[in-house]
Amino acid sequence: MQRIYLDNAATTQIDKEVMQIMVSVMENHYGNPSSIHAHGREVRTLVEKARKTVAGLMNTAPANIFFTSGGTEADNTAIKCAIYDHQIKHAITSKIEHHAVGHTLEMMEKQGQIKLSYVDIDEKGNINYQHLEELLINNDRSFVSLMHANNEIGTLTDIDRVGELCETYQAIFHSDTVQTMGHYPHDLSKLKAHFVVCAAHKLHGPKGVGFLYVNPQIKINPMILGGAQERNMRGGTENVYGIVGLSKALEIAYQEMDIHQQHIQALKTYMKVELKKAVPEIEFNGEVEDSKSLYTVLNVRFPKMNMADMLLFNLDINGISASGGSACSSGSNIGSHVLTALGVDPERPSVRFSFSKYNTKVEIDEVIKALKKVF
């Protein structure tokens, strides 16, 4: 059975060109980039070339890009170090952030380091910008963490608007941009953010590598100590193969961005129409308008059904990989904190279908056929 992969918001298939360049580095460049001999210097050159490539695509200076093990480390570094080093006592976030952000801020509040405020959101996950401004006005200097696109429902946040508000009230702004990096252009010379993050495996790169952008207007100390790597900002021998793979994946993503966006958006639109035909009772979680929604994500709320928790299993045995769940119900199950925050009926199962450049219309037709067997 040829399996269909529609869980690209979780991770993506690595691009063959990316894999080839990583294998070449593994085979031919094995020196430690911190070593001063020729083997080390040639590997250091690869790392700095990758940094220059990433910075160029982001329209920022190479000195502002720090390679990490992925988005979670980058988020934690930005949050913990900025709050601690700048003695911030108040943070603002939303209840639908990724756990890398939400759990970190919750722990800091529990430890008494900050007071944590949640900005209001509507039933589709949109930020209430007026409430955000009220929170900024009525508190001391704040740390704001709001993601660009929600990883479960795809709703986009206007991070340019958030950045402007944060600048007005001298707040520090961090945005988890993991889901949009490589899918939308990011001009860091214009975006008024202090931190943005990337995880390579979300854009057809390798797992275990990412980067943190640090605006030169802010200074932080490292979270991981142990060496002078990353210009004394992140101790530990660099993941050279991963860093080279990340830069190549991002380069490809920018080169092919327009054509892949058109292809993937067309698949999403087609699936919305066909799903409504097949199961008229379905609804969509989050925003689905093209301008307000991440084009790679479609979160579908299905009708109530017996053994709702078996829906994903049924898809799996039919050769379809997707993800999802339901809202938390009275603490009896650990469901989606995002769907719970939106007030979604916990008795209705939801499935997140997320697309990539490798998906096809034929695959969507197969998914619709499988769902017709269930409903």
Residue 239: CB atoms within 10 Å: 20
For the chain, the distance separating the N- and C-terminal CA atoms, rounded to the nearest angstrom, is: 22
Which residue reads 């940094």 in tokens? Answer: 51
Where in the sequence numbering do the catalytic residues fall?
A: 328
Distance between CA 83 and CA 101 in Å, rounded?
13
Residue 211: CB atoms within 10 Å: 30
Distance between CA 373 and CA 375 in Å, rounded?
6
Sign of the CA dihedral 71, 75, 76, 78? positive
328, 340 contact by CB (below 8 A): yes
* 284-288 CB contacts, 8 Å cutoff, 24+ apart: 285/152, 285/153, 285/339, 285/342, 285/344, 285/350, 286/124, 286/125, 286/150, 286/152, 286/153, 286/154, 286/155, 286/342, 287/124, 287/125, 287/126, 287/153, 287/154, 287/155, 287/156, 288/154
DSSP string, 127-150: B-HHHHHHHHHTSSSEEEE--SB-
